[in-house]
Chain A
Amino acid sequence: GDSVTQMEGPVTLSEEAFLTINCTYTATGYPSLFWYVQYPGEGLQLLLKATKADDKGSNKGFEATYRKETTSFHLEKGSVQVSDSAVYFCAPQQASGNTPLVFGKGTRLSVIA
């Protein structure tokens, strides 16, 4: 079945630092790719998505590009803020059938002022 590997956390950065969270996946076919974010005490929220190869998803200054050749969907942000402190989850999802999301283990990001 599909699987996801995310970089281990926690990641601690200073405000305005550059962020990269690596995500690689194993899936048959061409899944859609998602990044979800979980702020403290809350459920998950969709951060961005890409549905086909070379698509770039972006939201709130975060970006990720669907790289079919490397089966990766790394999350980046040029300048993080304290408010970005959260847990980030990468998830591929097959577009066919009713297959559920498969989440990575999550990467905890802490941004310090």
Chain B
Amino acid sequence: KAGVTQTPRYLIKTRGQQVTLSCSPISGHRSVSWYQQTPGQGLQFLFEYFSETQRNKGNFPGRFSGRQFSNSRSEMNVSTLELGDSALYLCASSFGTPSYNEQFFGPGTRLTVL
């Protein structure tokens, strides 16, 4: 079974631009969660989608948004990029709610904002 895939793996943008990151969960998994990883803050939860509905959201500004499609693939979008948005963005999928089911992580997308 293929693992969680994230595209692109690396991205360089400039301040003010917007970016869209993509995540394809493991086949059959309906929950997708997104995390931001930085050296200073560690891993922080962004949001979780289940069957195209956002079920949970972390403490991030409205510039960060996401969505999930009917095939469970998910995208996250960051608008008006800031230098502080430079991070590794990790996507994780699980069969059901992450509270009860193991999450499987993708390799991440490394976003650099110049």
Q: Which residues of A contact B (CB under 8 A)?
A: 32, 36, 41-46, 49, 89, 93-106
Closest A residue to B108 using CB positions:
A43
Can you report 14 residue pairs joining A to B where beta carbons are below 8 Å apart? Answer: A32-B99, A43-B90, A43-B92, A43-B106, A45-B105, A89-B42, A89-B43, A93-B98, A95-B99, A98-B98, A100-B33, A100-B56, A100-B98, A103-B35
Closest A residue to B40 using CB positions:
A105
Top-4 shortest CB links A-B = A43-B105, A105-B42, A103-B43, A100-B45
Task: Tally chain B residues at the interface, Cβ within 8 Å.
Answer: 26
When distances are taken between beta carbons in the complex, the residues of chain B under 8 Å from A44 are 43, 90, 92, 105
Q: Does B55 contact A (CB under 8 A)?
A: yes
Q: A43-B4, A100-B56, A102-B45 are in contact. Are A94 and B103 (CB under 8 A)?
A: no
When distances are taken between beta carbons in the complex, the residues of chain A under 8 Å from B58 are 100
A32 to B48: give the CA distance in the assembly, Å: 19
When distances are taken between beta carbons in the complex, the residues of chain A under 8 Å from B102 are 46, 49
CB <8 Å contact, B105 and A98? no
Contact of B55 among A36, A98, A101 (CB under 8 A): A98
A27 to B106: give the CA distance in the assembly, Å: 27
Q: A103-B43, A106-B42 are in contact. Are A98 and B99 (CB under 8 A)?
A: yes
Contact of A103 among B42, B97, B106 (CB under 8 A): B42
Contact of B48 among A36, A43, A49, A98 (CB under 8 A): A98
